[in-house]
Structure 1
Amino acid sequence: MSIKPPNEEGTQPDLPGEQASPGTSAGTTPPAPIERSKFGGTPRRHERAFDDDAPVSRSDLSKGPQDVLEAPTARINWRVLLVSSMVIIAFSLWAILGPNEARTSMKIAVDWIATNLGWYYVLTMTLVIGFVVWVAFSKEGNVRLGPDQSRPQYKLSTWVAMLFAAGVGIDMLFFSVTGPIVQYLHPPAGAGGTPEALQDAVVWTMFHYGVAGWSMYALLGMAMGYFAYRWGMPLSIRAALYPLLGKRVRGSLGDGISTIALVGTVFGVATSMGIGVVLLSVGFSLLFGLEQGLSLQIALVIGAVILTVLATTSGVDRGIRWISELNLWSAVAMMVYILVTGQTAFLLNALTENIGRFLVTFPARTLETFVYAPGGAEWMGSWTLFFWAFWLAWGPFVGVFLARISRGRTLREFVIAAITAPVLCDFFIVSLFGNSAMYHVLQGDTAFAQLAVDSPERGWYALLGMFPGAMFLIGLATLSGLLFYLTSANSGAMVMSNFSASIPDPSQDGPKWLRIFWAVLTAVLTVAMLLAGGVTTMEYATLIFALPVTIIAYLVMASFYKVLQMERAEREGQVLRKPSMAPIGGYLPERSWKQRLEQLHSFASSKQAIQFIDRTVRPALEDVAAEFRNQGYQAVCEDITSERGIQEPQLRVSMDSYRAFHYHVALVEAPVPMFSGRMTREVDVYYRLEVFTQTGSGGYDLMGLTKQQVIDDVLERFEAHLAFLTFSSNTDTASVLTPPMPAREG
């Protein structure tokens, strides 16, 4: 049936096109409202017409899983798979068969983008940074990636380490030496080799590997995680756009968005792999006496594919976690070795000054386009715009991983951790390598400086050769780089398989054969770009193919803003209900004074809580559901299996296009308070029966109530839900993608 909010006079308006409610014929009076005399009072019913095919704004997000998923089980999205594969194969063949033409054409396209759309990339990343910071510090920052009762799976230190491993690639090692030297000798504005250029040399690389990239990761990660864990939708970009596009995310429009995200991800990963093999080929040449060149680079790409296939067929999750952990420890060992055996005092002083200058100049750098500097567009295209495009392309890839490890985190801690902890780690790596290189340049080693500019991969290893125990450090650095490389290849294949499939369970991945397919296709693309000109061509391709991804960034921000407004409407709706609620405040059901005193020193076991559910709670919910159905509502009382395997009762009342009413009684473990009425604690934990709506817990315990008190609480909650619908309908706004609602009469 349709639930309409009342107008100002308290009457129910009639809207055009209203459908007949269950149990009535068209044009007849809807079912009579539930009489509180049955249970103790009469809540009002609110109705509004809504086109089920229209995009969703502040409506029933619980329909999302059915609207987004094409099937209840995992299946391949052949349209996304075939279209994205054909785009990548066509580009690869073009680069392989006509490398010179491909390189020249992409250079023309990049020059045009840098000259005409540089402002667009800069503005996009600035808005992304501002948006995620706003989310973190807004009132909705307390919203969790999951139900309100959910808690993080990993402790803070483990989680932060995994954040670092997710977003750091071998490309950072590549640019950590060449970047500062190039900015010192050839700065974007002013003369090179000056004290002013020196002051900014390392800071520019820190800026490029700083807050902007991690803000993009945080945006897509929190959006996908929110819809997956709080609303039960797939872990995908299309699910994050459900409030804007509604059921259309399951059609051609949604497939197009998934294809854009997938192609951008493939080019981002291929660029990282291409940079990696260029760098690693020098290391393998030094360690094993192999001849440097394209043949060795292609061999490394093939080796990565073989290892990815082995990891996939032998348990990819375990393999990726093992490689990531080893990756982190090898990187830490390399940094400590450089700090201890290098110019320790100089490096620490430089790190401190670099961070300070970064913080002071960050706002200006974020909006800098060098429009007044000669050759500014060319510099922007080679550096800032390339990195912004790189983070855009990597955004869906890293965002999926961040979401997978962050269930139960609040939006505030997710964003703050993502744009601080890994960024500081990035700063440490860039500053140590960059300032170690700058120290030798300042000592007059012009040959090393020129080598780092002309051949960044050889310049990086030349720097390592200047430290004591050079071969040991070169071996350690090559191992660390190889692990960075393999992590990107393995994780990339897994994420690409997810993007080209429809998977209901966020914890599951695409089939093994699909991961192998994407590993092979990414390798083919990497080889094609190496043949077409190496790192420079990869930069061109990334900048071009990341352009459509900017559209996804804007759509995700708009969609997530809408859903946060819905969260706020839910909260405000509850606030509006408080004056007419129980005198003891909040949603806490009224208890007798003896019940309240008993609860102060009564701590139920799991067995006692389950017995109370069976004897009191479930019968109460079944009676309410039966009366709802008698009066024409679509109501059902069903059991939900918890993570502990316990059958928890839930009452659900459907409201057509509006958010359904949920009353879910969950078994929640809690520590026994030290200030309880008991002198000593016999147990460490007890179990509460908390009430959850779609947005979390009411914060109170049903244990000890009578059946009638449980029924009264259900109706209080239902009245609050109707108040929320009233508030949200009064604040509905129209957008390009969300047509205006029919006007209310009366």
Structure 2
Amino acid sequence: MSRNAAPPVDTAGLEKEERKPPAAGESTGSAAPEAKTRVNKTVFLGSATGVVAIALWAILAKANAESVIGAMVGWVSTNMGWYYFLIVTAVVVFVLVAALSRVGKTKLGPDHSKPQFGMFTWAAMLFAAGIGIDLMFFSVSEPVSQYLAPPQREGGTAEAARQALVWTLFHYGITGWALYALMGLALGYFSYRHNLPLSIRSALYPIFGKRIEGPVGHAVDIAALLGTIFGIATSLGIGVVQLNYGLNFMFGIPENLAVQIGLIVLSVVMATVSVVSGVEKGIRRLSELNVVLAVALMLFVLVTGKTNFLLDGIAQNIGDVMSRFPAMTLDTFAYDRPTDWMNAWTLFFWAWWIAWAPFVGLFLARISRGRTIRQFVLGTMTVPFIFIVLWISIFGNSSLDLIMNGNAAFGEAAMSHPERGFYSLLEQFPAVPVTAAVATFTGLLFYVTSADSGALVMSNFTSHLKDADSDGPEWMRVFWAVATGLLTLAMLTVGGVPTLQNATIIMGLPLSLLLVLIMLGLYKALRVENSLNDSYRASLPGIITGRSLDQRGGRTWRQRLTRAMSYPGRKQTTRFADTVALPALQDVEAELRSQGAETSLTVATVEPCGIHSIDLQIAMGEERAFKYQIYPVQYETPSYATRRADPDDRYYRMEVFSQEGSHGYDLMGYTREQVITDVLDHYEQHLEFLHLNRAAPGNTVLVEDQVAKDNWESDFDMQEETQ
């Protein structure tokens, strides 16, 4: 499984992201972020008790645990295999439709938000999320296994070799990354666009409302955490076995449970040191080093191996995956079911991807604020997969080439002892001591980083975080690092990697039900976004096109030119706010009140510029409130400006904000009547939006308690810091 090797991004000290002024529609009710981070006692105690109980059961009653797990896996395979296939296929269709439809333009954040990371950096971080020690484990063992023992037809043929790579890429490819994209999309959308906590339960707000703060939400988070810890434990178990053989290969250290226990203890100690000493940035640098080493290893095999054959294989593998994927994604083998093969491969992989989805989804959401849904989904599903295709094609085809040219011993070793496959392949190339050392070092770093970042994510899932960029307390991260190590040890003592795989299949089942609810919640939310877009097109021409009053003929050409050449300073902007903008909104509010509307007009001083923002809100019963806010935003005066009003080379725009963010245009230079006209344009557009969503009361309200927050920093603050 392509796993996130880097911990969730610590945004402190990195590129400054956009900030937005107070916006209606951002909850300050019980579902909103906390004033400070605190433990979610129900989720923590419930999940911790479950994990420790399962681990102790597996250690103290091995035979019973192995029997029960085997029986449960058999039941899931026999009765629920079709369900896993339908769920993952539905997820692929859902995220692609969301990305390619009109709603794909919606941002993971307010409309005026900008991506925190540039395209190259963002793509590199997606790329880093696409590799892990398990990819080293399976990139040789699975192609060999599928070639020698395919689910259908005869093994050892040219067609078996072709299909072997397709099966491997199928299990590591588009479907799994679609699961990550769904979870990351849900977390990012509800957290950054609706200011809900960065937790799984937030995605269910459109369905359950404030009840997510009760038993429903606790059950969701416990299920997500149990699935996550089993997914991480499986990766760590695979990593332990792989590293144990690597040490045996290089130094003759024996392969046994005692060494594996030592490696687990080492990972827990290193993860604990990391989370306590705050070396996340160092771990991030090591993760980047991992990427470099992995690419170097891959290029070494490509150059020193049969380069032309490998390049031909890459091209053919890509074509085969694209042509065969639609048929494979729902191939349940209904007429000739290879049950053991399904349990060992497809069902295990789908459950493993599902179990890891909350973990990697959180990482992807943390690095993607300001991206559109289309950018996020397509980037997540393509950038990491491109690397995976190259990696598996190079190592997988190199392995098959050895077997097809008579090295049967290698094939038997890679199939019977998958942890040995990668090193056995490297043994066929020059400089094996160096390449084996690089592979082991890279695997160790991936192994430790997964333990560290896994503990961090699980501590977040069991905490009430004060904001989306906060993390759980250090002691809790230490606890989850130890608990993960204990669970890994317990499963290894029962039956090794196969038992971990079976446990993952079982734990993925309840988490898959959560995916259905997340899709329903996102569907409801994105349907409202679609209606919002429709309301712009069905409203007045100026709102439809986003043109300002100047462009719609509200001023003479000389007045327009004067406005275009002006870069107003603080005094001019203050004068406009107090003598034009405020009286205009006061007139509108007074007229609305006289006609029975429930309104509020708030004037606040924006620090440190000292300019007023004016916020008009109109209650709309059970539907989304109308908001029109005029807010000062500071910019650096461009070099081509002919008149500079501010000696500090700063100028200000009085931008219009609604619940969705800034509309991107400036009111400076408008008359009072023109400001009033602009307010009414937006009000009519909002009424059209409510008209398009008239199916059920409250349908436009995604988050209850729609009142303005007072703790958001503005774009002005952001630009003050960066300039």
Band of TM-score, shorter chain: 0.7 to 0.9
| Mapped partners of 2:527, 2:235: distance in 1 | 37
Q: Which residue of 2 aligns with 1:227?
A: 190
Unaligned runs of at least 5 residues, structure 2: 1-22, 704-723
Using a 3 Å threshold, how does the CA distance of structure 1 residues 638 and 222 change in structure 2: closer, same or farther?
A: farther
Conserved 8 A contact 2:268-2:482: yes
| Mapped partners of 1:632, 1:418: distance in 2 | 46
Farther off after superposition, 166-175 or 553-562: 166-175
| Mapped partners of 1:488, 1:67: distance in 2 | 32
Which of 443, 467, 485 in structure 2 is aligned with 1:505? 467
- What is the letter of the counterpart of residue 488 of structure 1? S
Conserved 8 A contact 1:576-1:723: yes
Q: Which residue of 2 aligns with 1:284?
A: 247
Using a 3 Å threshold, how does the CA distance of structure 1 residues 208 and 340 change in structure 2: closer, same or farther?
A: same
| Mapped partners of 2:609, 2:395: distance in 1 | 49
Note the 1:696-715 alignment, pairs <5 A.
696-715=661-680
Report the number of matched residues: 672
Note the 1:120-519 alignment, pairs <5 A.
120-373=83-336, 375-519=337-481
3-state SS of paired residue (1:241) = helix
Conserved 8 A contact 2:617-2:628: yes
Conserved 8 A contact 1:111-1:378: no
Given the alignment of the two structures, is residue 597 of structure 1 paired with residue 561 of structure 2, yes or no?
yes
| Mapped partners of 2:611, 2:289: distance in 1 | 38
Conserved 8 A contact 1:189-1:370: no
| Mapped partners of 2:477, 2:452: distance in 1 | 9
Which of 637, 646, 663 in structure 1 is aligned with 2:602? 637
Conserved 8 A contact 2:30-2:213: yes
User: What are the Cα deviations for residues 321-347 of structure 1, in whole angstroms up to 9, with x where unaligned?
Assistant: 223212211211211222122222221
Q: Which residue of 1 aligns with 2:9?
A: none
- What is the letter of the counterpart of residue 377 of structure 1? T
Using a 3 Å threshold, how does the CA distance of structure 1 residues 618 and 166 change in structure 2: closer, same or farther?
A: farther
Q: Which residue of 1 aligns with 2:627?
A: 662
Given the alignment of the two structures, is residue 524 of structure 1 paired with residue 486 of structure 2, yes or no?
yes
| Mapped partners of 2:307, 2:488: distance in 1 | 38
3-state SS of paired residue (2:665) = strand
Using a 3 Å threshold, how does the CA distance of structure 1 residues 421 and 670 change in structure 2: closer, same or farther?
A: farther
Which of 93, 97, 119 in structure 1 is aligned with 2:60? 97
| Mapped partners of 2:609, 2:127: distance in 1 | 32
How far apart are 1:201 and its partner, in Å? 1.0
How far apart are 1:133 and its partner, in Å? 0.5
- What is the letter of the counterpart of residue 446 of structure 1? A
User: What is the Cα-based RMSD across aligned positions, in Å?
Assistant: 3.0
Q: Which residue of 2 aligns with 1:36?
A: none
How high is the TM-score relative to the length of structure 1?
0.84
Using a 3 Å threshold, how does the CA distance of structure 1 residues 644 and 304 change in structure 2: closer, same or farther?
A: farther
- What is the letter of the counterpart of residue 87 of structure 1? G
- What is the letter of the counterpart of residue 244 of structure 1? I
Using a 3 Å threshold, how does the CA distance of structure 1 residues 87 and 672 change in structure 2: closer, same or farther?
A: same
- What is the letter of the counterpart of residue 629 of structure 2? H
Using a 3 Å threshold, how does the CA distance of structure 1 residues 562 and 604 change in structure 2: closer, same or farther?
A: same
How far apart are 1:617 and its partner, in Å? 3.4
Q: Which residue of 2 aligns with 1:62?
A: 25
- What is the letter of the counterpart of residue 121 of structure 2? T
How far apart are 1:471 and its partner, in Å? 0.6
3-state SS of paired residue (2:156) = coil
- What is the letter of the counterpart of residue 688 of structure 2? A
- What is the letter of the counterpart of residue 523 of structure 2? Y
Conserved 8 A contact 1:588-1:700: no
Using a 3 Å threshold, how does the CA distance of structure 1 residues 599 and 487 change in structure 2: closer, same or farther?
A: same
3-state SS of paired residue (1:96) = helix
Q: Which residue of 2 aligns with 1:23?
A: none
Farther off after superposition, 312-321 or 351-360: 312-321
Farther off after superposition, 97-106 or 637-646: 637-646
Q: Which residue of 2 aligns with 1:728?
A: 693
Using a 3 Å threshold, how does the CA distance of structure 1 residues 653 and 732 change in structure 2: closer, same or farther?
A: closer
Using a 3 Å threshold, how does the CA distance of structure 1 residues 684 and 192 change in structure 2: closer, same or farther?
A: farther
| Mapped partners of 2:605, 2:321: distance in 1 | 51
3-state SS of paired residue (1:117) = helix
- What is the letter of the counterpart of residue 602 of structure 2? C
3-state SS of paired residue (2:25) = helix
Using a 3 Å threshold, how does the CA distance of structure 1 residues 646 and 176 change in structure 2: closer, same or farther?
A: farther
Q: Which residue of 1 aligns with 2:710?
A: none
Conserved 8 A contact 1:176-1:433: yes
Using a 3 Å threshold, how does the CA distance of structure 1 residues 607 and 134 change in structure 2: closer, same or farther?
A: farther
Using a 3 Å threshold, how does the CA distance of structure 1 residues 352 and 666 change in structure 2: closer, same or farther?
A: farther
| Mapped partners of 1:123, 1:361: distance in 2 | 17
Conserved 8 A contact 1:233-1:504: no
How far apart are 1:306 and its partner, in Å? 1.2
Conserved 8 A contact 2:27-2:196: yes
Conserved 8 A contact 1:335-1:432: yes
| Mapped partners of 1:548, 1:464: distance in 2 | 40
Farther off after superposition, 247-256 or 308-317: 308-317
How far apart are 1:575 and its partner, in Å? 3.0
| Mapped partners of 1:646, 1:107: distance in 2 | 68
Conserved 8 A contact 1:217-1:398: yes
Conserved 8 A contact 2:187-2:361: yes
Conserved 8 A contact 1:672-1:684: yes
| Mapped partners of 2:364, 2:30: distance in 1 | 25
- What is the letter of the counterpart of residue 394 of structure 1? W
Conserved 8 A contact 2:573-2:611: no
| Mapped partners of 1:408, 1:80: distance in 2 | 30
3-state SS of paired residue (2:657) = strand
| Mapped partners of 2:184, 2:159: distance in 1 | 38
Conserved 8 A contact 2:31-2:196: yes
Farther off after superposition, 139-148 or 656-665: 656-665
Using a 3 Å threshold, how does the CA distance of structure 1 residues 379 and 195 change in structure 2: closer, same or farther?
A: same
| Mapped partners of 2:620, 2:299: distance in 1 | 60
3-state SS of paired residue (1:73) = coil
3-state SS of paired residue (2:539) = helix
User: What are the Cα deviations for residues 132-158 of structure 1, in whole angstroms up to 9, with x where unaligned?
Assistant: 100111001000011111111111111
| Mapped partners of 1:117, 1:646: distance in 2 | 62
Conserved 8 A contact 1:180-1:434: yes
- What is the letter of the counterpart of residue 539 of structure 2? R
- What is the letter of the counterpart of residue 564 of structure 1? L
How high is the TM-score relative to the length of structure 2?
0.87
Q: Which residue of 1 aligns with 2:6?
A: none
Farther off after superposition, 652-661 or 142-151: 652-661
Farther off after superposition, 689-698 or 264-273: 689-698
| Mapped partners of 1:582, 1:522: distance in 2 | 54
Using a 3 Å threshold, how does the CA distance of structure 1 residues 611 and 139 change in structure 2: closer, same or farther?
A: same
Conserved 8 A contact 1:392-1:546: yes
Q: Which residue of 2 aligns with 1:557?
A: 519
Using a 3 Å threshold, how does the CA distance of structure 1 residues 173 and 646 change in structure 2: closer, same or farther?
A: farther
How far apart are 1:365 and its partner, in Å? 0.9
